[in-house]
Amino acid sequence: MQAATVTAQERRRLRREERVGRVLDAAVSVFAERGFHDASMDEIADHAGVSKPVLYTHFESKDGLYAATLRRAGQLLTERVRASAAPDLSAEQRMWAGILAFVDVVSEHRDWWIVARKAAMGEGEFADLGRQMHDEMAELLRGLFVETAAQRGIVGGALSDVEPLAHAFVGACEAMALWWVERPGVPKGTVAMNLMNLMWMGFGDLVEGRLWLPAEARRT
């Protein structure tokens, strides 16, 4: 009897998760097309194939639904990048794997990316949430960069340079993604290679302990 009850509860939980996922997919599509202010809960419910009361059962307001779409986008991106950067890979392989994961997420979920970027560039609570996602991704990359550089024996001041580089890397990825979503005909591989060339030319030397210095510093 208990096993049957647990099974029934599990089925209900899975149905609920499936319904919530369907609502979030529909919501992000509408938000990406219309923006937050012009999107309506009626249209989102229609796109998700649920009633408006069911929509409000899961999300109390349009604000709450919008915030949930942002959090889901950030979680998806973080999980994919973290999973791609296996610790047994070389520094170059880790960066390439992370870039490929990032490009895959943008390619597969363009609407999610558009909504997240619009939020980050706006004002108010959602802008704060969008910037928080940026900071979380930068912190993830900083950790990966520090681990990779430390494995290569980089310590001290060179290692401290990793943090601003991580933020620069995230910014470059965001800018490239925004450029790409407006030019969907550009192949995914081209975007990934452009990012790799942009970043590895700097980070690769840093990992190897090679730093650029101004002429006067090189003479000392």
Q: Among all chains, which residue has been given the structure tokens 């999973």?
A: 83
Assigned token pair, 56? 């409000």
**At 148, which amino acid appears?**
T
Q: Higher model confidence: residue 188 or residue 90?
A: 188
Residues forming CATH 1.10.10.60 domain(s) in the chain? 1-60
CA 107 to chain centre: 12
pLDDT-derived band of residue 20, with 50, 70 and 90 as boundaries? confident
**What is the rounded distance in angstroms from the CA atom of residue 173 to the CA atom of residue 178?**
9
Say whether pLDDT at 6 is over 60.
no
Closest CA to 115 of 61, 178, 43, 172: 178
Q: Higher pLDDT residue, 139 or 49?
A: 49
| Amino acid, res. 87 | P
**Is the pLDDT assigned to residue 187 strictly greater than 90?**
yes
Looking at residue 2, its pLDDT comes to 46
Identify the CATH assignment for 1-60 out of 1.10.10.60, 1.10.3860.10, 2.40.10.10, 3.30.420.40. Answer: 1.10.10.60
Indicate the fold that domain 71-207 takes in CATH.
Answer: Tetracycline Repressor; domain 2 (1.10.357)
Residue with tokens 């998760």: 17
Q: Which residue has the tokens 């910014």?
A: 171
82-93 per-residue burial string, b: 16 or more CB within 10 A, e: under 16: eebbeeeeebee
pLDDT for residue 44:
92
Q: Are 112 and 21 in contact (CB under 8 A)?
A: no
List the beta strands (DSSP E) in the chain.
Answer: none
User: What is this structure's pTM?
Assistant: 0.73
Q: Where in the chain is the domain with CATH 1.10.357.10?
A: 71-207
The reported pLDDT for the residue numbered 1 is 41
Average predicted confidence (pLDDT) for the chain: 79
